[in-house]
């Protein structure tokens, strides 16, 4: 691999995991544990979260999540995403990866860690009707919205650029509902139709809206403070994320599809990222070693 490729790989791994090797210390805990986890090899969650389309899905999920004024108030009032965007990103990646690939005990503890981190988050916001409303970290409505936007985004991007999902989209929504329950979502949707029905209801009833805070967040997501050498590829992925958002939600966000072929460009960019980063990830390898150990099979050496 060329020197440039090595540098870009290190920057990408550091951005997502907080470690240039792509193997932060918390990966080691995934190799331990007493069971196969909530999902396991061959599951819809492993396929979706182990693929390159997650690079676009994360951008799409952030864009969608800005549309709920309560969620946006929490970000505006408490998040340090402008001061430390990569720290916030790597924290989210840690939760996603651990919940997907760790054993059930560690997945629960990681979800509890995230809940503790957010426990102080509280405040007020103005809802779509102009009424003042209180919010707090465990607000069922806000937890549900974040889960809906996340699940819909990762599914949409996998369906557009990834391989087949075992059991189809319904299997992924049903499986990831367990992760939603771990962070306090009550009775999350268990099918694609149910999930997208809820999203449409929130849009049609005026719960979601664009305001100055949303516009600020969208501008930041469009142009984050990344290494300049990474920005051309990021702009392609951003355009791809926008292209997968349904038109009615794009209008709410004040975004338009790029005039360039964003879907094809994203496919090429994801293929290049896959070649650069390789597969499977350190987390998936660690999970497979844990499962092999529990089954008494030959275990792949740590790398």
Mean pLDDT of 125-133: 78
Please tell me what DSSP assigns to residue 192. Answer: H
Domain of residue 244, residue span: 3-295
Q: What's the confidence (pLDDT) of residue 302?
A: 43
Q: What's the confidence (pLDDT) of residue 16?
A: 59
Residue 303 lies in a domain: no
C-alpha 282: how far from chain center: 18
Is residue 303 predicted with pLDDT exceeding 80? no
Residue 302 lies in a domain: no
Helix (H, G, I), strand (E, B) or coil at 294: helix
Q: What is the pLDDT of residues 6-57, one digit of tens each?
A: 555 556 655 655 555 556 788 889 999 999 999 999 999 999 999 999 999 9
Tokens of 36: 């196969």
Q: What is the pLDDT of residues 156-199, one digit of tens each?
A: 999 999 999 999 999 999 999 999 999 999 999 999 999 999 99
Return the higher-pLDDT residue of 105 and 119.
Answer: 105
Residue 132 lies in a domain: yes
Q: What is the pLDDT of residues 208-247, one digit of tens each?
A: 999 888 999 999 999 988 888 889 999 999 999 999 999 9
Residue 300 lies in a domain: no
Q: Are 185 and 138 in contact (CB under 8 A)?
A: no
Residue 126 lies in a domain: yes
Is residue 2 predicted with pLDDT exceeding 70? no
User: E strands within the chain?
Assistant: 122-126, 132-136
Is residue 82 predicted with pLDDT exceeding 70? no
Q: What's the confidence (pLDDT) of residue 80?
A: 61
What mean pLDDT, rounded, does the chain reach?
A: 87
Total structural domains within the chain: 1
Model pTM above 0.85? yes
According to DSSP, the β-strands at 122-126 and 132-136 are antiparallel
Q: What's the confidence (pLDDT) of residue 301?
A: 46
> Cα separation of 71 and 130, whole Å?
16
Residue 57 lies in a domain: yes
Residue 301 lies in a domain: no
Q: What's the confidence (pLDDT) of residue 5?
A: 57
Q: What is the pLDDT of residues 258-294, one digit of tens each?
A: 988 999 999 999 999 888 887 788 899 999 999 999 9
Residue 243 lies in a domain: yes
């Amino acid at each position: 691999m060329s020197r440039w490729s090595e540098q870009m790989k290190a920057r990408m791994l550091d951005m997502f995991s907080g470690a240039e090797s792509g193997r932060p210390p918390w990966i080691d805990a995934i190799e331990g544990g007493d069971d196969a986890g909530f999902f396991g090899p061959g599951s819809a969650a492993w396929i979706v979260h182990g693929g390159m389309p997650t690079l676009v899905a994360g951008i799409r999920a952030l864009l969608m999540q800005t549309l709920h004024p309560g969620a946006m108030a929490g970000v505006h009032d408490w998040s340090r995403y402008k001061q430390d965007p990569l720290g916030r990103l790597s924290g989210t990646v840690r939760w996603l990866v651990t919940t997907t690939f760790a054993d059930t005990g560690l997945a629960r503890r990681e979800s509890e860690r995230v809940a503790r981190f957010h426990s102080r988050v509280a405040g007020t916001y103005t809802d779509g009707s102009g009424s003042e409303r209180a919010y707090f970290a465990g607000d069922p409505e806000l937890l549900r919205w974040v889960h809906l936007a996340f699940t819909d985004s990762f599914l949409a991007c996998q369906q557009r650029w990834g391989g087949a999902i075992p059991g189809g989209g319904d299997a992924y929504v049903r499986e990831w509902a367990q992760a939603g329950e771990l962070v306090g979502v009550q009775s999350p949707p268990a099918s694609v139709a149910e999930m997208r029905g809820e999203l449409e209801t929130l849009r049609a009833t005026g719960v979601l809206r664009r305001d100055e805070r949303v516009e600020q967040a969208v501008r930041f997501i469009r142009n984050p403070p990344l290494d300049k050498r990474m920005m051309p590829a990021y702009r392609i992925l951003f355009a791809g994320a926008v292209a997968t958002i349904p038109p009615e939600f794009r209008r709410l966000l004040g975004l338009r599809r790029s005039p360039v072929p964003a879907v094809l460009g994203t496919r090429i960019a994801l293929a290049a990222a896959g070649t650069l980063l390789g597969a499977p990830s350190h987390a998936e390898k660690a999970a497979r070693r844990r499962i092999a150990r529990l089954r008494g099979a030959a275990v792949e050496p740590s790398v």
